Structure 1
Amino acid sequence: MVTRLNGFSGSGIDIDDTVSKLMKAARMPVDKLKQQKQTLEWQRDDYRAMNAKIMDFRNQAFNMKLQSSYQTKKSTSADESIVTVSSTSMAPEGLYSIKVNKLAKSASVTSGAVGKSSDQATMTSLGLTGDTTLTVGGEKGSVTLQVKQTDTIASLVGSVNSKSNITGVSMSYDAAIDKFFFVSSSTGSSAKINLQMKSIGDNDTQNLLNTVLKLPDSQPVPAPVPPIPVATPVANAGQTVTGGVAFTASGVTTLVDNTLTATQKLRISDGTITSDFDISKTTTVGKLIDAINSSDIGKSGVSAYLDSNNKIAFFNPNDSKTLTFSDQTVDTANVLTKLGLDSIDPIPAQQPVVTQNEDYSQYTITGSKAEIEFNGATAMYDTNTFSINGMTFTAKKEQAAADSAVNVTTTRDVEAVYNSIKSFVDKYNELITTVNTELGEKRYRDFQPLTDDQKKDMKEDQIKSWEEKAKSGMLRSDPLLTRGLTNFRTSFSNSVEGLPTGDAKSLAEIGISTSVVVGSSISGGYSDRGKIYLDDTKLKKAIAESPDEVMALFIANDDVKDSDKGDGIATRLYDRADDLMKQITSKAGASTSVESNYLIGKTTKQINSRIDALGYKLDALETRYYKQFTSMEKYMNQMQAQSAQLTQQMG
């Protein structure tokens, strides 16, 4: 191990400073390599930034290759208070008539006055003499809710609306007019509201929907025929099946069975509809109830809920249909047992309670479809927004039989097509301006990347100013970009071969060129270096009168790979942009590229290897310098000692 002498030696030489100066000269080749590497990295970054601009333009060119960009249609209604209209490119141009005979309606019901003026009134004050249940069914599913005498109007409304996502039915109460409102979330024949409320005690003449909620014309459901006992629990129309297991007070958040090692499948069937439900160790009682109520069997009116004892219960409103429950998974686990719905005979203690002959009051109403006459033909729709022949209509007001139909006109949307072409040209001009700026940017060759030692002696603003000049002109006169720009210009200006005789063959014929003369005004010239200008009037006229010719000029594709003479402008420019992007990526890579996969990366990698190799040599050189100075000091000390002895002897 070499012992280094640092600082001032006995000879008075500052060894560290001397070695540092010697090494500074020796490190010059490494500094040049680092500067070369930094320049390449700046150039790489500029290439990648340019590729992002080219990709943006290529995406715009892709859109202009699509027929839909030139076939935009515009539809207008003669009376938007009755019907509004919009159209797609598929809408045929022409004049149409439409009449709104009926609007699609949601299912809705409004109660009579309940005799209160506050949503804090209790169910007892509305006439409820005991706790009961309210089953709410809609187009999405059904739920059964516990209704207590102590519940307020607000809490009942909140309970119904908390399940609107499952039922599709919402409820409200307006204290000012003292009425309940029920409404379905959709319109049409599938929209429905089905309300059922269980009578209390032995009173089978109660009609709670009518006496408590004051709904009009609600009727009791006839008492069902007692079911025939079978091996699995059943519930006939108007009945409930109650599980034998009481869940904890948390109820809906309780896990069905947290010991399950495999997912179980619970099946519920009414003989016509069968629904299966997966139960895993993370399934809660509430999640299972919601899944049942929003399933196909829930949409038929069946609902699951927790009764007042926190036992799972099922209500079946369907006439002449019996519910059956079964575990479809073949293993030792039995979800029926966990839910208290296992077979009657084997486990009497957990035997489900089948409540028979329960009486319910019931109110059912459905929505209605829209009735529309289009060009004299009548059609029905579930919603007031519907599509005909690529046109989307929204019906707003019904018309009387004697009213005239509304005229609807569909035409080519000249302005939309013009805007698409203009956006494409603007994006092209933006790209070539960027490319021209890069190609002409000044290169300050006297401003090389700063070394670490140079930065130590400079202020931050000086470094920033220096590097702005050092980074300038990284792509000046770049051959890749120069060729790419030339290809763009020729692609835009060359005519399109193979189009029908008499059709426009070049963009200049429809008002798109590097120079445009409009009256006494001239736009464009050599100094603009390839920018494209539009003659708005000429272009819009071409779009209106010859839309297919305009489209062909952009999207034509003759599928000849070694020539683009028969390709449209958008097709050519997309291919040119794509090709240029690939060339730049091959040279500068992308942000996710490995260095060895692109040219600049390979060069940078080679420079790093040379820097590492020189680094080892410089470390060895620095060690040798310190070793030499150490030897010199050793000999000088020896000579000084000998001199001192001689002086003493001659003394």
Structure 2
Amino acid sequence: MPIRITGMNSGLDTESIISELMKAKRISVDNVKKQQTKLQWKQDAWKDLNSKVYKLFNTTLNNMRFSTDYSKKITSVSDSSVASVVSSDNAMNAAQELKIIRKASAGFLTGAKLNGGSYTKSSKLVDITDADGDKIEAGSSFSVTVGGKTTDITVTENMTMGSLVSALKSAGVDANFDEKNQRLFIGATTSGTNGDFSITASNKKGITALSALGIFDNGIRDDGEDTAVMKEYKKYADMTQEDKEATINAEVAKRLVSYIKQQKSLNETKEKQETKLQELKTDYTRDGYTGNLDDADTKSKLQADIDDLKSEIENLGTPEEGTPEATALAEKNEALAELRKEMAYVTSYEKAKASLAATEASLAEVESYLDEDGISASDTLIDEVTDMVNDKIESAIEVLANASTNADMKRIDGQDATITLNGVEYTSTSNVFEVNGLTITVLGQEGDEATLTTRQDTDGIYNMITNFIKEYNSLINEMDKLYNADRAKGYEPLTEEEKKEMSESEVEKWESKVKDAILKGDSNLSTVASSLKSIMLAGTEVNGKRMNLSDFGIETLGYFSSANNEKSAYHIDGDENDSNTSTKENKLKAAIASDSDTVIAFFSQLSQSLYSNLNKMTAGTDLRSFGSIYDDKKMKEDYDSYTTRIKTLEQKLNAMEDRYYKQFSAMETALAKLQSNQSAVSSLLGGL
């Protein structure tokens, strides 16, 4: 805003005069702003109301308009400590007898305490001995089988207890070594027989290793049943020559596929590494050297140059800027930086070369298992697998003949849960059963019994209807309150200047008066409310008979008994939460209990009628968006139109104000000239 100095010649308070003149002119702009503010408040009121209508439409009515929405079933259990039951909508209404035969359990192995010493997770396995003093040897092998997948673990010279735990976890079980109690703990990750695990020796050394680790299990149980461990040992101990050959062939084929994939991957890696090395060789050039990165002297010569240059830099110290010594120092530092870059380059080449060597070694090992054609098994692979199977057969025979489970070890075998329902047996890997629409979770113990009684969830139907009535009442009462609000005659939105003259509470009270009456007598609001009331009042036809809400004890209180703006609200006879009707007989509950089909048919059709009606009103038009019951598009256009109009009026006022200032400025200029002329005349007269 420009700084104006006025009234110097006239002595008039020009600022105040123009301010008063503009105040009168600004009334037209303020009136338009007030109209825009009222429109904004009207939009806000409609948005709030629209969200409540849409919730009734999209959630409540949408979930009540089909008879299947009411088909809720519940199942009571005669003894809640035996089982819990969740019923689906298609569960049969019946009483059924449940008996727990066996609960599901997950396999778990608590290892025996390790013999002597105090081992940690970093202890090497080859330092651990069994009760007879025999050490675990490198090459000891045992297998972990989980869910039909077998993983072989072979002890190496440097394998630690921690790495063993990691290998067990990779094999599909959970594992931990408790250093305080010196025991291994191994558990299945899922319950049931399918999730159980077995750990068996793959060679004779493996028997000693498992025994020393406190986790050797021969699979023998008091009940005589074959455990997963026993089945694994018997599979190899009882293997015929034909089965042996089939096992060898299958294992060879499996490994062959794996080695062929590895060969392809390693060849691709090797090719990339060779390309990278060649690029490094091609890019590397250095004055005074051959550029041969494979020459061992290259790195040593480069390091010698770096050391010499560093010494020269140290000898120069810290020379003054601008001196020849300072220039020399800068040049040597730059040269040193270049040498260090070259050293990094050489180091990168060495690493790349080492990676290629490792890849070539891995490739050579993999190819030793493949024949010359690269797609057939070599004698090395066949011999290795044959030796492995022979070792397993030998160790299995040894275990079944002589070996004993670690005395201090405890093994819990994984087992499936079994129940009988109405005398029929069902099995599950967990303690949860799904039978004929019921989800039964076993909680009790073996031998426990209970009666499961499935019935229609009448309370659920009743709650669904009462919640609908409550939501409808809240919405229709609010609509009536907004439509019938007291007039706010004489009240308009306040300008900023008007707000400054009032306290915050006075401003809030004033604006609330306007906002509360913002939808009074709104024709659109009347249309929406009237359509909902008409559908509720009309009722619906069920099995050829016209029925109304009153047939289920749901009515309004009447014009003179109802509170203001609650005359269209419905009350349920016998509703304990409604003081107006709580003492009456609850016809709705009685109807649900005696003839739930009729109740469901009535309310699903009533909900469908309300849903269809609101669906039409919120379909969207040129004036309103989809999902809106009011003309939101038109209101936005009007609001934008007000914004444009206000801007135009503001520009006119600014121009008018500038014109006033120019006029007063011209007057001041004229007065100044007049005064100047008078002074000149006075000066002349004074000189006579």
Residue deviations 1:131-163 (CA, integer Å, cap 9, x gap): 67776453497777787788776x4686368x4
**In the alignment, which residue of structure 2 is the partner of 1:89?**
89
Structure 1 residue 465 displacement after superposition = 3.6
- The 8 Å contact of residues 10 and 633 in structure 1, kept in 2 or not, is answered as yes
Counterparts of 1:256 and 1:448 in 2: how far apart (Å)? 83
Q: CA deviation at 1:460?
A: 4.2
The 3 A distance-change label for structure 1 pair 586 and 136 is farther
Q: 1:98, 1:375 within 8 Å by CA — same for their partners in 2?
A: yes
User: 1:277: which partner in 2?
Assistant: none
Report the residue type matching 1:129 in the other structure: I
The answer (yes or no) to whether the contact 2:540–2:548 under 8 Å persists in 1 is yes
Q: 2:201, 2:9 → 1: CA distance?
A: 109
Aligned to 1:73: 73
1:513 corresponds to:
555
The one of 521, 527, 537 aligned to 1:477: 521
User: CA–CA distance in 2 between the matches of 1:527 and 1:43?
Assistant: 20
Match of 1:529 among 567, 571, 592: 567
Residue 159 (structure 2) pairs with residue 159 (structure 1) = no
1:539 aligns with 2:556: no
**Aligned mates of 1:524, 1:184 — CA distance in 2:** 67
Whose helix fraction is larger, Structure 1's or Structure 2's? 2
Compare 119-128 and 390-399 and name the one that shifted more. Answer: 119-128
Q: Give the equivalent residue in structure 2 for 1:487.
A: 531
**Which residue of 2 is the match for residue 283 of structure 1?**
none
Q: Summarize the Cα distance change of 1:545–1:590 in structure 2 as closer, same or farther, 3 Å threshold.
A: closer
Match of 2:101 in 1: 101
Deviations 1:202-260 (A, max 9, x none): x757442233233211688799989999xx997379x9999799x9xxxxxxx99999x
Aligned partners of 2:50, 2:631: CA distance in 1, in Å? 19
Q: CA deviation at 1:385?
A: 0.8
In structure 2, relative to structure 1, the CA distance for the partners of 1:614 and 1:189 (3 Å cut) is same
Q: What letter is aligned with 1:138?
A: V
Q: Is the 8 A contact 1:160 1:170 kept in 2?
A: no
Alpha-carbon contact 1:227-1:236 (below 8 Å) kept: no
Which whole-Å CA distance do the structure 2 matches of 1:97 and 1:17 have between them? 96
**In structure 2, C-alpha distance between the alignment counterparts of 1:256 and 1:433, rounded to whole Å:** 79
Letter in 2 for 1:478: D
Question: AA paired with 2:190?
Answer: S
Alignment of 1:417 with 2:461, yes or no, is yes
Question: Equivalent residue of 2:492, what SS?
Answer: coil
Paired with 1:143 and 1:575, the residues of 2 have a C-alpha distance of 62
**Cα offset for 1:194?**
3.8
Aligned to 1:370: 417
Which of 643, 647, 668 is the aligned partner of 1:612?
647
Tell whether 2:599 aligns with 1:550.
Answer: yes
| Equivalent-residue separation in structure 2 for 1:606 and 1:83 (angstroms) | 67
Aligned CA RMSD, in angstroms, stands at 4.9
Cα 1:7–1:524, aligned 2, differ >3 Å: closer, same or farther? Answer: same
Q: Distance in 1 between matches of 2:612 and 2:157?
A: 75
Equivalent residue of 1:187, what SS?
coil
Q: Are the equivalent residues in 1 in contact too, given 2:533–2:568 (CA < 8 A)?
A: yes
Relative to structure 1, the CA distance from residue 147 to residue 31 in structure 2 (aligned partners, 3 Å threshold; closer, same or farther) is: farther
**What is the DSSP-based 3-state SS (H/G/I as helix, E as strand, rest coil) of the residue aligned with 2:186?**
strand
Could you say what secondary structure the match of 1:483 adopts?
helix
Separation (CA, whole Å) in 1 of partners of 2:5 and 2:422: 102
Q: Check conservation: 2:201, 2:207, Cα contact below 8 A.
A: no
Unaligned runs of 5+ in 1: 248-254, 260-335, 517-521, 556-567
Which one has the bigger strand percentage?
1
Gaps of at least 5 residues in structure 2 are: 219-228, 274-358, 400-410, 575-585
Question: Following TM superposition, by how much is the alpha carbon of 1:624 offset from its aligned partner in structure 2, in angstroms?
Answer: 1.5
Larger radius of gyration: 2
Q: For 1:99 and 1:184, how far apart are their aligned partners in 2?
A: 27
CA gap of 1:342–1:172, structure 2 versus 1, over 3 A, is closer
Instruction: Give the corresponding residue for 1:215.
Output: 216
Residue 129 of structure 1 corresponds to 136
Paired with 1:73 and 1:371, the residues of 2 have a C-alpha distance of 25
Give 1:4 shift. 7.8
Map of 1:388 onto structure 2: 435
Which residue number in structure 1 is paired with residue 255 of structure 2? 235
Q: Deviations over 1:441-474 (max 9, x none)?
A: 3342323122233344445444334333332311
Change (3 A) 1:436 1:146: farther
Q: Does residue 183 in structure 1 map to residue 183 in structure 2?
A: no
| Aligned length in residues | 533
- Scaled by the length of structure 2, the TM-score of the pair is 0.65
2:673 maps to amino acid: Q
1:20 aligns with 2:28: no
Q: Does the CA-based 8 Å contact 1:47-1:584 persist in structure 2?
A: no
Cα 1:212–1:119 shift into 2, 3 Å: closer
Q: What is the distance in 2 between the residues matched to 1:26 and 1:338?
A: 94
1:323-374 Cα shifts (integer Å, max 9, x gaps): xxxxxxxxxxxxx9897487558999xxx99693455779999744333333
**Aligned partner letter, 1:65:** R
1:265-324 alpha-carbon deviations (Å, 9 max, x no partner): xxxxxxxxxxxxxxxxxxxxxxxxxxxxxxxxxxxxxxxxxxxxxxxxxxxxxxxxxxxx
Alignment check: 8 A CA contact 2:106 2:192 kept: yes
1:48 deviation in Å? 0.3
Structure 1 residues 226 and 89: CA distance shift in structure 2, 3 A: closer
Q: Distance in 2 between matches of 1:257 and 1:604?
A: 69
1:432 aligns with 2:432: no
Counterparts in 2 of 1:242 and 1:61: CA distance versus 1, 3 Å: closer
Alignment partner, residue 32 of structure 2? 33
Shift in Å at residue 79 of structure 1?
3.6
2:543 maps to which of 483, 490, 500 = 500
The verdict on how the C-alpha distance between 1:470 and 1:82 changes in structure 2, with shifts beyond 3 A counting, is: closer
Sequence identity (%): 23
Write the distance in 2 (CA, Å) between the matches of 1:369 and 1:609.
Answer: 76
Q: Given that residues 438 and 475 in structure 1 are in contact (C-alpha distance below 8 angstroms), is that contact kept between their aligned partners in structure 2?
A: yes
Amino acid at match of 1:184: A
2:146 maps to: 138
Q: Return the offset for 1:569.
A: 1.6
Q: Which amino acid aligns with 2:486?
A: K
1:115-126 correspondence to structure 2 within 5 Å? 115=115, 120=120, 122=123, 123=125, 124-125=127-128
Contact 1:60 1:424 in 2 (8 A): yes
- Taking a change above 3 Å as real, the CA distance of residues 588 and 216 of structure 1, as seen in their structure-2 partners, is closer
In structure 2, distance between residues paired with 1:507 and 1:548: 15
